[in-house]
Amino acid sequence: MAAILLAEDDESMRAFLKRALERAGHVVVDAGQGDEALSELQLREFDLLLTDIVMPVMDGIELARRAADIDPAMKIMFITGFAAVALNPANRTPQEAKVLSKPFHLRDLVDEVDRLIAA
């Protein structure tokens, strides 16, 4: 079981992902924007930040950078339809961050999360 912070601006997608991760035994705190997720990071510790890239106010890349500053040991995974953006070195994404490209099956998400947490 891992403590996961899920940042996703699409409300239905966020609820869907949260439910799947909770069914897999994880504790999930969700946020609809990057700045809301940053506030959660300052309140408690998480094993994993699972974030979309394109969000209002603060995007997932900036959120990941700030999260890595707050807790360098926290794992980071991007869920996005824009994998090339996350992988672009000019964006200065945390080096160990993983990317799961949309669309994906929930089983793939849970498997990737479990692998990343176990690593």
Q: Are 79 and 51 in contact (CB under 8 A)?
A: yes
Q: What is the pLDDT of residues 14-34, one digit of tens each?
A: 999 999 999 999 999 999 999
- Spell out the SS3 assignment of the chain: CCEEEEECCCHHHHHHHHHHHHHCCCEEEEECCHHHHHHHHHHCCCCEEEECCCCCCCCHHHHHHHHHHHCCCCEEEEEECCHHHHHCHHHCCCCCCEEEECCCCHHHHHHHHHHHHHC
Domain-wise residue ranges, the chain: 3-118
CATH architecture under which domain 3-118 falls: 3-Layer(aba) Sandwich (3.40)
Summarised one tens digit per residue, pLDDT across range 77-117 is 998 876 555 555 555 566 677 888 888 888 999 999 999 99
